[in-house]
Structure 1
């Protein structure tokens, strides 16, 4: 459209130019006609003055003649100039000039004759009619010139009118197009204005979205210019710096913000210094991104800070709260450390239990052979006590290592609390007040009842030692739900329902450095000889093996609270049975195949079996046991160690012997199962196990149970005392 208007404008301009040219030529024609008429008049005036002089002889009649002579010459020059563009008129002008010259000469001759010879001489010249003939020729030539110019005038007037018509048409078209262009331009400007307004609104929305997005993220972001002045920041920026919103302002120097952050953290420097930003850190270029961490002791928060340079010389400071990540990493490291220590203690228990089995077995074989009054009985009893104490220590080690076989079942913790409270009051002494806080509608817990009571006893004993001057021990139970947020902050915690058992004391409490190592085996703050450092380690292992969680809260001078979270049982709880001592040891004459790779353990165990009346055959490995059975040996019971040398474990030997002796009873013995018959802390269904080291009574009762030969007076609920596994 604009191009079309431009073309029309150019055409209109050309027509206007043509019109001006046509008007000029019309004016030119009028000038030619005017000059022609004036020339004709001047010639006539010259002739009239000349005749007046001829008739009167008076000189004053020659004044018009003389005036006309000068003007005639000038007008001839003007006509030649005005008709210079027309060759035809130029030819006329040449002829006209010659004729006028002859006419002027004829008049001048007549005037001379009148002056010199008189009137008659002049009349004779005039009677020759030369002057009249020349005058007619002049008039004829001038009439032809005027006719030619009038013809040109008509043509030029017609051309000018045509040009004006075209100009008016083009002006009208140009006007219409201009109006249309203006309307179109107005429409386009309106659309452009709408688009501009829409773009501005979109920019505002985008800015609001970006601001909202920056304010919604949990990271703190601050933008600084090349001079180190704060330009923009989000809502989390002052929060993570522990500053108030009023502490920050636009254009604030970085050094001022760094100083305020250091004051909030109560340290000399919290953020980088301006020198570090300007010159780089550790030999690095100041244009390289920098990542560093800071810990604020005032609120215990850990921050990760990223400084990212910008092309204009400024930088962006981004802060991320990594407190939970740091805590989770520390918890994970603790868990890995505890797992490694558990692996170590499990391996130690394997060999240690075999040694204890040999010692305890031989002592129990010797004791019945001594006279009742023998002074050696005291020594033997002390040795037996020491061996059993060693067995208890290995049991605690395996509990920490989560290697002890558990028999979890639904437990009504509330039902066990009264008996446990009475036991604790007798055990702890009168200077310790025992208080029980029960909960109505307590869920049943899924755990091994014996191990749970042992864990509670260990916690109570530790609490007693922390209150040498007396105090209060509080046992509290409650239903607890550990949600996903709690599980995210604590490694190895599965969200769900738990039964919480808390033991609190009013003792001395523990500082943070002691609290960090409280579950390590053999770590103790007690005096030498007053503690093994295995009590809390056993509690930790038992709870973790049961799928639970344990948390310790303590402050120096305020006391300690240990909270145990045991998984909620879906089935109903049982009251649990306590062991009842048998009236007499069961015995029998069944054939027992003893499979044990340790010769000394095999020797003492075989001696115990024979004293109980059983027929015993011995094998040092699985292959030897298979050969004996294949050779026709009579076997009613396989008593097999779990961990054997020679590549075949006890459970594998039992599996291969079963087809050879249908109905074969199997009793495993071990102090370290290596997950052969224990999975997820539970003994496999239908599997019988006796832990090393065991006494003769424990062995007799367990064999009778497996063979289905209960001793007289034995209650059906007799439980084999839990002993640490070990091969």
Structure 2
């Protein structure tokens, strides 16, 4: 590119030189005109000086010839003006000028002439006219005037020679400029032709480059599409792998639990068939396996952020203080526990039971990581997650949070383990030492509550897991009494059970009758409304949520419209946003999750029926 630009640079340099020379020539011509004006003025001053000398001489001669004083008037004016004229001539004469010598000759001659004129006039005034005329006739004055004229002619020749030299130099410069202008015009033409040719060539290169760029862009787009397809396939494979791991873990755990239940029930059947009644241990084993299955389902719902939460205004410091004994019993005597509670801690709005479960899960994991011997620290603090932190962490909204941190002095985790720590059924514990659902349950609960969870760990340095739950803004709600507590009064209420699954409906009605309630059952919402109209004394509606045609929420709304004092308890194994929105139970909704024990059912029924 530098070599291609060189002709253009040279051409512009030549043009600049010509323009500069033209400017210098104009300045030179302006200087010549000024010098010519000065020369003309100089010559006029010299001519004026000569005229003054002549006027003085004419006045002197007229006076000598006539004796009239009036003839001396030109003499006097000339003598008075000559010094001023000489001063103007001196001001226009440079000290190093070659005419200085001639000016000095003129001054000397004028002095002699003035002396001669003054002497003759003085002699005439003294009455010696003859001597005065003789002095005039001697030719001394004429010689002086001739000398003055000769010096002035010399000055004129010198000035004319200088002007001629300037004109000759100007003509020479103009000639070179004409030659240079023609050369510049030729250079401009050649540069124009060269520029046009280069522009065409470069435009052609640009067009070729653009075509090549378009082709490469098309190829790049095709490659991007290919990579996106490959990445999509990889993501799909990863999803399928995760789903496979999840379903495999669920199938493994449920098969173990079902194996216990089926085996226990089969053994109980065989003993009963033989007339034996010592089957309590089998029933206990089946119940234990069923409870573990229910707990597994609850953890899976927590991970999927679909468990129904009942949030309350919670003081995390008070909650941790209240569960300190539970944590000590769960960890054992060999684990040292330290609690650091922040002063002025903000309130949070979350499900307190789930917070307790999360802290207990983290504490048990920390105990296992420390091998049963170490120090566990539970800390609370007010925190602010700013915009820069939120920008680097998905699903985190900038704002104020309450932090609950659980730290241990265990073996720590490398980065590849941290990346998988929240995945369900992922565990680094030995076989039969963990389900792999503890951290996933914590993760699901925190995310469902609008919070954030972060793991900080290094191998050999221990682990800190921080839970951030959003700060609660607003006034605290007054606690509402939940009921009468233990009720020894006889049970007289009638309950309407609505369940589309016949086996679940039968087991639920049996459980209610066992508790002493009068029970009416229905298989659908329409049937339930019909029986509700036929039996006005029903005190409570116990309904499943997920049912065909009319779900439990619509049934409850219709039933309450007919019987405003009717109490309602919803139950389901999986919520579909009927009574749970954004993972939170609707206000004033009573809910009992499936599966439930008879004790849980009894407590929930009394809590709702005894509420005024």
Q: TM-score, normalised by structure 1?
A: 0.46
How far is the alpha carbon of 1:286 from its aligned partner?
11
2:109 is aligned to none
1:599 aligns with 2:502: yes
1:544 is aligned to 447
Report the CA distance shift for 1:506/1:661 in structure 2 as closer, same or farther (over 3 A). Answer: same
Contact 1:435–1:475 (Cα < 8 Å) also in 2: yes
2:562 is aligned to 660
2:523 is aligned to 620
Contact 1:508–1:557 (Cα < 8 Å) also in 2: yes
Selected match of 1:672 from 571, 574, 586: 574
Matched ranges for 1:366-515 at <5 A: 375-468=278-371, 470-515=373-418
How far is the alpha carbon of 1:579 from its aligned partner?
11
Following the alignment from structure 2 to structure 1, what is the Cα–Cα distance between the partners of residues 416 and 526?
Answer: 53
1:526 aligns with 2:429: yes
Following the alignment from structure 1 to structure 2, what is the Cα–Cα distance between the partners of residues 579 and 392?
Answer: 25
Report the CA distance shift for 1:526/1:618 in structure 2 as closer, same or farther (over 3 A). Answer: same
Residues 504-546 of structure 1 show CA distances to partners (whole Å, capped at 9, x for unaligned) of: 1111112222211111111111111111111001101111111
How far is the alpha carbon of 1:612 from its aligned partner?
1.8
Report the CA distance shift for 1:704/1:385 in structure 2 as closer, same or farther (over 3 A). Answer: same
Report the CA distance shift for 1:565/1:341 in structure 2 as closer, same or farther (over 3 A). Answer: farther
Q: Which has the higher contact order (CA 8 A, sep 6+)?
A: 1
Following the alignment from structure 2 to structure 1, what is the Cα–Cα distance between the partners of residues 482 and 294?
Answer: 19
1:313 is aligned to none
Contact 1:586–1:700 (Cα < 8 Å) also in 2: no
How far is the alpha carbon of 1:498 from its aligned partner?
0.2
2:607 is aligned to 705
Contact 2:483–2:608 (Cα < 8 Å) also in 1: no
Residues 302-347 of structure 1 show CA distances to partners (whole Å, capped at 9, x for unaligned) of: xxxx9xxxxxxxxxxxxxxxxxxxxxx99xx89x969x979x89xx
Matched ranges for 1:194-209 at <5 A: none
SS of aligned partner of 1:648: coil
Contact 2:383–2:401 (Cα < 8 Å) also in 1: yes
2:463 is aligned to 560
Report the CA distance shift for 1:488/1:601 in structure 2 as closer, same or farther (over 3 A). Answer: same
Report the CA distance shift for 1:574/1:432 in structure 2 as closer, same or farther (over 3 A). Answer: farther
Greater Rg by CA? 1
Contact 2:483–2:606 (Cα < 8 Å) also in 1: no
Following the alignment from structure 2 to structure 1, what is the Cα–Cα distance between the partners of residues 426 and 310?
Answer: 28
Following the alignment from structure 2 to structure 1, what is the Cα–Cα distance between the partners of residues 243 and 293?
Answer: 19
Following the alignment from structure 1 to structure 2, what is the Cα–Cα distance between the partners of residues 512 and 378?
Answer: 46
Following the alignment from structure 1 to structure 2, what is the Cα–Cα distance between the partners of residues 631 and 522?
Answer: 51
Unaligned 5+ runs, structure 1: 1-279, 293-305, 307-328, 711-727
CA RMSD of aligned residues (A): 4.2
User: Which structure features the higher share of helix residues?
Assistant: 2
2:513 is aligned to 610
SS of aligned partner of 1:701: helix
- The alignment covers a number of residue pairs equal to 373
Following the alignment from structure 1 to structure 2, what is the Cα–Cα distance between the partners of residues 377 and 580?
Answer: 34
How far is the alpha carbon of 1:476 from its aligned partner?
1.2
Contact 2:482–2:607 (Cα < 8 Å) also in 1: no
How far is the alpha carbon of 1:709 from its aligned partner?
6.9
Matched ranges for 1:334-345 at <5 A: none
Unaligned 5+ runs, structure 2: 1-208, 225-230
Following the alignment from structure 2 to structure 1, what is the Cα–Cα distance between the partners of residues 559 and 497?
Answer: 13
Following the alignment from structure 2 to structure 1, what is the Cα–Cα distance between the partners of residues 397 and 467?
Answer: 14
Report the CA distance shift for 1:587/1:683 in structure 2 as closer, same or farther (over 3 A). Answer: farther
Following the alignment from structure 1 to structure 2, what is the Cα–Cα distance between the partners of residues 581 and 524?
Answer: 45
Report the CA distance shift for 1:629/1:417 in structure 2 as closer, same or farther (over 3 A). Answer: closer
1:535 aligns with 2:438: yes
Following the alignment from structure 1 to structure 2, what is the Cα–Cα distance between the partners of residues 678 and 490?
Answer: 27
Following the alignment from structure 1 to structure 2, what is the Cα–Cα distance between the partners of residues 337 and 543?
Answer: 22
Report the CA distance shift for 1:666/1:508 in structure 2 as closer, same or farther (over 3 A). Answer: same
SS of aligned partner of 1:533: coil
Contact 1:500–1:563 (Cα < 8 Å) also in 2: yes
2:592 is aligned to 690
Following the alignment from structure 1 to structure 2, what is the Cα–Cα distance between the partners of residues 555 and 586?
Answer: 60
How far is the alpha carbon of 1:497 from its aligned partner?
0.5
1:651 aligns with 2:578: no
Residues 348-374 of structure 1 show CA distances to partners (whole Å, capped at 9, x for unaligned) of: 99xx9xx99xx89x99xx9xxx9xx96
Report the CA distance shift for 1:430/1:383 in structure 2 as closer, same or farther (over 3 A). Answer: same
